[in-house]
Amino acid sequence: MFDTATYKRRRDELKKLVKEGIIILFGNNESPANFPNNGYFPFRQDSSFLYYYGLQRDGLVGVIDIDNDKDLLIGNDIDIEDIVWYGSVDSMEEMRQRCGASETLPMRALKTVCNEALSKHRKIHFLPPYRHDIKIQIFDLLGVHPIQQKEAASMTLIKAVVKMRSVKEPQEIEELERAAVIGYKMHTTAMRLTKPGVTEKFVSGQVDGIAHSYGAMVSFPTIYTQHGEILHGAPSMKELEAGRLVLCDAGAETINNYCSDNTRTMPVDGKFTQRQLDIYSIVEACHDHTLDVAKPGVKYADVHFNVCRLMFDRLKELGLTKGDTEEAVRAGAHALFMPHGLGHMMGMDVHDMESFDQVNVGFDEETRPNLEQFGTNNLRMGRRLEEGFVVTDEPGIYFIPALIDDWKAKKHCAEFLNFDKLEAYKDFGGIRIEDDVLITKDGCRFIGKDRIPYHPKDVEEFMADN
């Protein structure tokens, strides 16, 4: 965790933004894998609780009483039987001192705190819960049914947390740089191991091991698959085949739970075919275009659509698309190839603050999402960029057989797509290139000192030499 002053300052700023009432920040409880004492490992704390309290132990709740200017840390000291199995841990008082809370109370006191606030009709702010045990706890404390809790969550608190967590402090950027070091090791390990005959599961397992050995955990389940057209394709027991592409989307969390998120696509036998290079070079150009235009004041939605136009034009050169590019993008024809957004916010959550709903994180009053158009409805980040934002830059081109067949049958966007020529690409797979980008004062830069190879020649040379 950071120093005590960091968490006190953050909570003080949160009080100013929310202005009145009490704020309840629920930490996570242990999550059972198949039995209460067999929890998923490692324990993952709630990110907002971590941001304001910095404590990694399960079974904790933070209560910020704005009106009375008090910060409570609520939880129970562990008993001797837990110590026998898990060893000694910091006491509640020790944790209170570390996070700078004003006092500590046992968990049973949380009901009293809530009852007193409810009896005085004070505003109780909580964030949208995503774990069922916390939903039950909120039901017990506040009487709000789980199916109503998303709507009952405090929009004032959501906006305040998004405002604070979106702009990364220097010490947070340092943590993201540490995550990038681990991410580099993960992806270069994947490149070294990729060769015909090795299974997807073996490579992904080695990649995951890097994250666990240098940090806290993977920042999301690793994607390593020869079916790159499946956006969240899980590794299988299939052996890698010469002539095919394999896509690796992986990231790490540091001990303090700051994330990396990168994607690379590589030839299984270390050498791109010309057809693969034709498509790869388009994704490469789209990826690099983002680095040229992303800066404070620019809407990330505009960057996204700039990339879509560039992609459509380049696919037109290959004879796969046709017609007026502006009209095609307006109609959503590009989404046949890239049915997702260009990127998302990133920080302690790999899709930062995703549990608040992306409309509250990646958009604002000025920039609203289009939830009707296929592809565009998956745009996670559209608002104007600000210095200190960290976003992913992840264009991709995917040839999804079922989607091609569906659009062809419906003649959807037929005036912009050459379906006959697309038939030859239904065995191609998919390509994505992704990096993490920090928005600076007058532009942007990569997170991470060492660049994971992504230019075709660099990829081929690295795989040949390693």
Domain boundaries, the chain: 4-166, 170-465
| pLDDT for 98 | 97
| pLDDT for 374 | 95
Q: Which residues lie below 8 Å from residue 328, measured CB to CB, with a gap of 6+?
A: 312, 321, 334, 413, 416
- What residues of the chain score a pLDDT lower than 50? none
Q: Within 10 Å of residue 169's Cβ, how many Cβ atoms?
A: 15
User: Cα-Cα-Cα-Cα dihedral of 125, 127, 129, 135, to 10°?
Assistant: 0
Quick: pLDDT tens for 2-15: 999 999 999 999 99
Are the CB atoms for 260 and 182 separated by under 8 Å? yes
The rounded Cα 351 to chain-centroid distance in angstroms is 2
| pLDDT for 82 | 82
Quick: pLDDT tens for 13-24: 999 999 999 999
Helices (H), 374-450: 401-410, 419-422
Which of 163, 156, 161, 180 has the alpha carbon at shortest distance from 388? 163
| pLDDT for 239 | 98
Extended strands (E) in 116-256: 124-126, 217-218, 223-225, 245-250, 252-253
| pLDDT for 68 | 94
3-state class of 220 per DSSP?
coil
From the candidate CATH numbers 3.40.50.10860, 3.90.230.10, 3.40.1640.10, 3.90.1150.10, the one assigned to the domain spanning 170-465? 3.90.230.10
Tokens at residue 449, please? 């000192």
What is the rounded distance in angstroms from the CA atom of residue 329 to the CA atom of residue 331?
A: 5
| pLDDT for 89 | 84
Residue 383 dihedral angles phi and psi, to the nearest 5°: -70, 170
Are the CB atoms for 374 and 339 separated by under 8 Å? yes
Asked if the bond preceding 42 is cis, omega within 30° of 0, the reply is yes
Angle between helices 92-99 and 4-18 (to 10 degrees): 70
Question: Residues 41-73, buried b or exposed e (16+ Cβ, 10 A)?
Answer: eeebbbbbbbbbbbbbbbebbbbbbbeeeebbb
The reply to whether 4-166 and 170-465 are identical in fold is: no
Q: Under CATH, which architecture does the 4-166 domain have?
A: 3-Layer(aba) Sandwich (3.40)
Are the CB atoms for 160 and 18 separated by under 8 Å? yes
Q: Within 10 Å of residue 106's Cβ, how many Cβ atoms?
A: 11
Q: Model-level pTM?
A: 0.95
Tokens at residue 15, please? 């009080």
Residue 205 identity (one-letter amino acid): G
